[in-house]
């Protein structure tokens, strides 16, 4: 079994794995459109975490984890079903490690996606301006800590794997700008 991580799974797997590969999936981009009411926010004030959005010609970098042992697979699936419970869709996508490769390194990595379908995913928040995203992230905090920590950890983890994700970097820079200017607005 292979699992693809494009958010917090990059820096915190939380399960036993046999191999970790840096690479990407095609046809998707990472966006801060998913509300988090259980980890990085509350039902009253949701945080924002990443999900995948279909995007022609785009790639989303992250890591793929190989889980080989049967007992580890069962524990991993149980763990991920709880951790990723606010993500309503599971997909199996091809994973590449080389930008010029035409053949995937791994066929059918499992990935959790939060769809924009409000009937299936009541926590989908969707797009917002960079400033609105930043203000929401600055103010949100949940059982797993401040939402801004999630953003900054994701930015750091992406840099460590050699990925420059403009959406994440622009958002992190906007959060830092607002914090440095003391522009905390009650939005």
Catalytic status, residue 84: yes
Distance separating alpha carbons of residues 125 and 59, to the nearest angstrom: 22
Q: Residue 21: how many CB atoms within 10 A of its CB?
A: 17
- Nearest CA to 54 out of 33, 84, 80, 82 is that of 33
**Active-site hit among 71, 81, 84, 174:** 84
Cα–Cα distance, 120 to 123 (Å, whole number): 9
Residue with tokens 């709880």: 82
How crowded is residue 138: how many other Cβ atoms within 10 Å of its Cβ?
20
Residue with tokens 């800590």: 145
Give catalytic residue positions: 84
């Amino acid at each position: 079994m292979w699992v693809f991580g494009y958010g917090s799974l990059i820096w915190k797997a939380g399960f036993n794995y046999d191999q970790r590969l840096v690479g990407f999936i095609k046809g998707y981009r990472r966006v801060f459109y998913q509300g988090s009411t259980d980890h990085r926010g509350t039902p009253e004030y949701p945080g924002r975490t990443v999900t995948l959005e279909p995007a022609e010609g785009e790639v989303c970098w992250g890591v793929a984890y190989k889980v080989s042992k049967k007992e580890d697979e069962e524990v991993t699936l149980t763990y991920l079903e709880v951790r990723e419970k606010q993500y309503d869709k599971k997909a199996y996508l091809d994973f590449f490690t080389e930008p010029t490769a035409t053949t995937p390194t791994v066929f059918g990595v499992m990935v959790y996606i939060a769809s924009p379908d409000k009937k299936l995913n009541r926590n989908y928040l969707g797009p917002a301006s960079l400033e609105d995203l930043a203000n929401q992230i600055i103010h949100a905090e949940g059982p797993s800590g401040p939402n801004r920590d999630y953003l900054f950890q994701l930015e750091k983890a992406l840099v460590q794997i050699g990925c420059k994700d403009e959406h994440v970097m622009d958002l992190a820079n906007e959060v830092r700008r607002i914090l440095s200017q003391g522009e905390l607005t009650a939005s």
